[in-house]
Amino acid sequence: MHPEGNATAGQENHAGQSPPATAAALETRPWVDEELRQLIDAMPLVVWVTDSVGRVQLFNQLWRDYTGLAFDHETAAAVAADVIHPDDRAITMERFEQALQTGGMFLVEHRVRDRHGEYRWLVARATPFRDPASGAITRWLGVSTDIHDRKQEEEGRRQFAARQSFQLALADRIRPLLDPAEVMTSACELLGRLLGATRVTYGELENAGAVIAMNGNWTDGSVPSLAGLRLTIDDFGPSVGAALRAGEIVVVADVTAEERLASFRDQYAASGIGSYMGIPLMKRGVLQAILSVHDSAAHAWTGNDVDMARDMVDRTWAAVDSARAQLAARENASRVQLALAAGAIIGTWFWNVPNDRFTVDEAFAHAFGLDPALGRAGLRLAQVVATVHPDDLAGLTAAVRQAIERGGQFAHQYRVRRADGRYYWLEANGRVERDAAGNALAFPGVLLDVEGRRAVEAERDRALQTLRVLNADLERKVTEQLLARGRTWQVSPDILAVLNADGYVEASNPAWKATLGWTAEDLASAPLLDFVHPDDRAGARDEWRMATGHDAPALRFEHRYRCKDGGWRWLSWVVVPDEGKLYCSARDVTLDRRAQAELITRTEERDRMWNTSPDLMLLIDFDGYLRRVNPAWTRLLGYTADELVGRHVNAFVLPEDHTSTVDAYVAAAGGGTPQIVNRYRHKDGSLRWIAWVAAPFGDTTYATGRDITLERERQAALEQAQDQLRQSQKMEAVGQLTGGLAHDFNNLLATIMGGLELSAIRIRQDRPDEVERYMGMAMGATRRAAALTHRLLAFSRRQTLAPVATDVNALVNGMLEMIRRTVGPGVQVDVESTTPLWTVLADPSQLENSLLNLCLNARDAMPDGGRIVIKTGNRHVDRASAAAHGIDAGEYLALCVTDTGTGMTPEVMAKAFEPFFTTKPLGQGTGLGLSMIYGFARQSGGHASIASQVGKGSEVCMLLPRHHGNAIPAAAAQAPSLEPAAGTGRTVLVVDDEPDVRQLVVDVLRELGHVAIEAADGPAGLRVLQSDARIDLLISDVGLPGPMNGRQMADAGRTGRPGLKVLFITGYAEATLLNNGQLEAGMAVLSKPFPLEVLAARVREMAG
């Protein structure tokens, strides 16, 4: 609603735009109060103007009419702020501050007091105007529009949604509860938490309203519980009690401010009640129960709060009534079951006629020797009548057929073979229920034991005569029995009645009043059919007439009967006619009917889910044959149900997935709940990935499958992208590696080439004294190149290792003096060793080289000196740590070097083991030291790791697997020499595909006085080994070209020359050729490049 009716609904959408004429006036001419006032007074909108910081300078006539305020330039700002609701002033100022900071539009919804003193919702918008020269904001032009009706509608919708949410939550909370007290308490808790109350009670009136029994109670823990108390309605004020008795809702926001409760304030305070809301429950004008909501402090209860409380009362009463009825029904059912067990009824049945499914109770099954589980699961009629006496079978079949054709009651006597093998006379009593088209649907009934009855029928006339003679005496006995029967009549929870021939109730028990509310006088005042629901009256009339006309009991016919309060209850009748009267018993089956209706609803819901689900659903037997499928199969795979049902599931599954599919339904047959993913062939030939979950029930597996083809395709695309990324990263790493190699090897080759060229020049100049210096330069560069390749091979874990059982403590102690000399006097070197220390299987020289490199790196990290600690220890690595490091769990030896240097950042630590990565200045490091150490540790079956903190130092640890064996003492070193030694004249076979290398080896052998035989490849070498030539030693490259490598040639040669000694020379150690360094006896490895003195020493060692 807009003020004074001058603003239209459409103007609300454009209120954020300044009227063009006014905007132009404000922009183009100076501030003139009188002219501007006249301009905005003429506008059909609520308009106001502020200065640059938001102080109101002017508001128009429409604003004055709306608020009832007069305009005064001096007080305009204060007056404008005062009419804004106190709760909205902060958000108004906050939005204006935001507009001032951003220079954008000001927009806020707030409540403003109108001329009647009521607050109404307005939306206020303002646009800034700037100085053309400086661009600074000079003023704001604002427009306000009434949106009160819209806000009220929004609040109404919010409250309606809140009520609906509460009603659903209440229904869900109390639906499964069977105990009336639990229903009341749960409902009280839900309402109390929603309203922010401290206590909610549910009291029911007893003793004609004199006492309130607090049967339901909930508190938030801050106030005492009132559960179990019995109060009077006037305990908290006669005025409150009177209002509640009259059906009025009582709402007290603040007890201390309520004058009518002045004399009861102490009582309210003692009970922790600061505010109160009472909701009466009236039935037929009489107060039945009171819902009380308390808050320990003042509480402004809203109309929505009252509505939700009222909803809760109505729904809870119905739920409590239903729970009590169910409880009574369960007790009644127990009593009926006891009565059946003690009477002539020996069993009950229910026959689903369309499906020919015959279910029987446990008593029926035991009587005829049937499995009770089979009786519950269902039998066919042919199975049930299999025990009928052959002479009686035809008559029974005809009687059943006739009952199905005509519907209604059924009674027939026949003989049946029972569990003891004897035939007994039974009477079957039942009733055929039919649908609107006359088709038989259900056929329930009971079996009566009439064996005794038939045995005495022949004596019936004689017994009647005897009874007449003894009538006088029997009258006395009958009277006594009637008295006993009268007691049963009075206390029975079932409805009992006697009807005369006109359909009036001549006698009725108290259960009528307890169940339906009718007294005996009420029932006698009209025919019983008048109490039947109009829709059921015709059927009821037929049932009663049939019982009278056939002079046979009528069992289990059900109709609705009117309650005195106007409701309806379903009653299931058993009627026995006798001498023109009907003796009747009825059971309240209202809850059973509701349960049946709910079952039908759930079945319909299940069918809808089956038919509409986008996922595949199926029933499959334990042999893999499809028994039922839902329509989603046609949508997803193109097959109809007729094409699927009865066929084996693997007819539609790709052959590669047959095994897993069979395993799944076999697992279900064993009671498992398999989950698999397999591929199905669509009818059009395409492929579908289906993810299944399944569970068995009975002899069938129920399974649901979801189409994950799109997810699989996306995953495949992702994996392809990841492979491409890894390939790109691999090429980048190769580029970095080759770049570093090229740089270092070019430097070394320049030194070698220069040294050799200068040596040649000096020889031509006949200046031999300088040749040795240049040759030394070339040899030094060669050794550095060899060291570089060894580091590369160590990083790639392809260096040639000669592992032996090593005592690491002894190795560290043997190197300690050399390490201290190498790192210099400014660095303190200490050792912390564990004793006893486990043995490791490692290459001692490579381990020494690694330890020395770690100490040198530690020294370089301490330019001003510091402390290095070499630690050894035994470690147990668990599975989690082993998995994180990529090693096997078990026992390891740890060799660690700790320094007190500058430390590393996380970024540096992440790259420290990468080849050619170094933080040292150019020319002071190759960046291969740590990568070599890492590669050596990995090749030895272990791991290397770094821990560091900037400014506190670093620790590098190698973990090497424990070796269960004794360490081998290190041999004393001997200086190598190329001089011939004793024992020369051996014959050595040299096999290498590189002629220069082969020639160098042959020359060294000849220098040593040995005879050398050459071969260029494996087959040639093998022919020499298979000849009669004397061979004392075989020297061979490992990686020979052609069909036979060096190791294969040596192994083949050893078959004819057992014990032949073999020295392998190689550029790198192929793990598959050298068995991961584990060579046989009499074999050794020498890595290229090697000093000739080392080759000579190894030949002397092996050839003798």
With beta carbons less than 8 A apart as the criterion, state whether 819 and 855 touch: yes
Rounded Cα distance, 1000 and 984, in Å: 18
CATH of 343-458, one of 3.40.640.10, 3.30.450.20, 3.40.50.300, 3.60.10.10: 3.30.450.20
Q: Which residue type occupies 569? A: R
pLDDT value of residue 955: 94
Token pair listed for 893: 């030896």
Rounded Cα distance, 398 and 395, in Å: 5
SS3 category, 1058: coil
pLDDT value of residue 982: 46
The Cα-based distances of 678 to 68, 654, 664, 709, 711 in angstroms read 78, 8, 11, 10, 14
Fold annotation for 3-146:
Beta-Lactamase (3.30.450)
Question: 796-963 is classed in which CATH architecture?
Answer: 2-Layer Sandwich (3.30)
Residues 1068, 1074, 1080, 1084: what is their CA dihedral angle, to the nearest 10 degrees?
Answer: -10
Q: What is the pLDDT of residues 285-305, one digit of tens each?
A: 788 888 889 999 999 888 888
Residues 992, 993, 996, 997: what is their CA dihedral angle, to the nearest 10 degrees?
Answer: -30
Pairing outcome for strands 1083-1087 and 1061-1066: parallel
Burial of 308 (0-12, 13-18, 19+ CB in 10 A): buried
Q: Which residues of the chain have pLDDT under 70?
A: 1-37, 161, 325-344, 453, 455-488, 550-552, 726, 728-744, 747, 787-802, 915-917, 919-929, 970-984, 1067-1078, 1104
Burial of 952 (0-12, 13-18, 19+ CB in 10 A): exposed
pLDDT value of residue 635: 92
Q: Which residue type occupies 868? A: I
The Cα-based distances of 926 to 9, 256, 736, 935 in angstroms read 81, 88, 13, 16
pLDDT value of residue 16: 37
Domain boundaries, the chain: 3-146, 174-327, 343-458, 613-707, 713-778, 796-963, 987-1103
Peptide bond before residue 969 is cis, with ω within 30 degrees of 0: no
Token pair listed for 336: 């009926």
CATH of 174-327, one of 3.40.50.300, 3.90.1150.10, 3.30.420.10, 3.30.450.40: 3.30.450.40
One fold for 3-146 and 987-1103: no
Rounded Cα distance, 219 and 222, in Å: 7
Peptide bond before residue 696 is cis, with ω within 30 degrees of 0: no
Phi, psi of 1006 (to 5 degrees): -65, -40
Residues 202, 207, 210, 213: what is their CA dihedral angle, to the nearest 10 degrees?
Answer: -20
For 24-105, strand residue ranges (E) read: 46-51, 56-59
Token pair listed for 182: 């639990």
Fold annotation for 613-707:
Beta-Lactamase (3.30.450)
pLDDT value of residue 26: 43
Can you tell me which residue has the tokens 């009637």?
Answer: 482
pTM here is 0.33
Question: What sign for the dihedral angle of Cα 593, 597, 600, 602?
Answer: negative
Question: 987-1103 is classed in which CATH architecture?
Answer: 3-Layer(aba) Sandwich (3.40)
